[in-house]
């Protein structure tokens, strides 16, 4: 079976540099991701539980 050589989305973004997003919403927070086991974690207000959110990596 041939190996898939298509670039990942992360590789594509690194090659292009930053990209611009337009997002419409109600509130915005800027937080730093904290280590949590083998992944990262961001704490959000309890009033956001059950709401839809979008996470955009800034750097």
Render pLDDT for 4-22 as a digit per residue (tens, 0 to 9).
666 676 666 666 678 888 9
Residue 47 lies in a domain: yes
Residue 2 lies in a domain: no
Closest alpha carbon to 59 in 24, 22, 13, 8: 13
Residue 58 lies in a domain: yes
The pLDDT value recorded for residue 17 is: 77
The pLDDT value recorded for residue 59 is: 85
**Parent domain of 41:** 21-59
Residue 5 lies in a domain: no
The alpha carbon of residue 38 and the mean position of all alpha carbons in its chain are separated, in whole angstroms, by 16
Residue 10 lies in a domain: no
> Is the pLDDT reported for residue 1 higher than 60?
no
pLDDT digit string, tens, across residues 20-49: 889 999 999 999 999 999 999 999 999 999
Residue 44 · residue 53 · CB < 8 Å: yes
Q: Give the total number of structural domains in the chain.
A: 1
The pLDDT value recorded for residue 20 is: 87
Q: List beta partners, residue 35.
A: 40
Global pTM reads 0.60
The pLDDT value recorded for residue 15 is: 67
């Amino acid at each position: 079976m041939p190996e898939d050589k298509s670039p990942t989305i992360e590789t594509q973004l690194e090659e292009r540099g930053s990209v611009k997003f337009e997002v419409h919403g109600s509130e915005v927070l800027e937080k730093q991701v904290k280590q949590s086991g083998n992944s990262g974690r961001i704490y959000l207000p309890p009033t956001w539980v059950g709401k839809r959110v979008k996470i955009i990596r800034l750097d």
